[in-house]
Amino acid sequence: MNEEILIPISLFLAVFGIVYLYLSTRNRERLALIEKGVDARIFMRGKNEGPAFYKVVLLNLALLLMGIGTGVFLALLLSTFTSLDEDALYPAMIFLTAGASLFVGFTLTKKME
């Protein structure tokens, strides 16, 4: 058997195994709680609290991409008008502005809740 095909197969099996274990364990825990007489409404807690998950992901992704673009633009400006080393300037500015944009996304997400 070809060795290159084993990597995607093993990756798929590992992801499938983790998801299966998570779902089956969660189901067993819920059934045990229901058998003990716990109210089933505790499983619905948190569904309507806070903003929707996709809104948070889209906000953070949009801010991250804008931060990366801003970092590339600032690195281009700095490399053009200064004598700084381009090899260190581009990653530094990209990571700096991407981190700043993720921090802004975090604070905006906290305000959304």
Q: Are residues 67 and 110 in the same domain?
A: yes
pLDDT category, 49, cuts 50, 70, 90? low
pLDDT category, 112, cuts 50, 70, 90? confident
Domain count, the chain: 2
**Cα separation, 50 vs 47, whole angstroms:** 8
pLDDT category, 2, cuts 50, 70, 90? confident
Q: Are residues 56 and 23 in the same domain?
A: no
Q: Are residues 34 and 3 in the same domain?
A: yes
- Quick one: how far is CA 80 from the chain centroid? 34
pLDDT tens, 57-85? 999 999 999 999 999 999 999 999 999 88
pTM: 0.58
- Given a contact cutoff of 8 angstroms between Cβ atoms, the answer to whether 75 and 89 are in contact is yes
- Whole-number percent of the chain with pLDDT over 90: 58
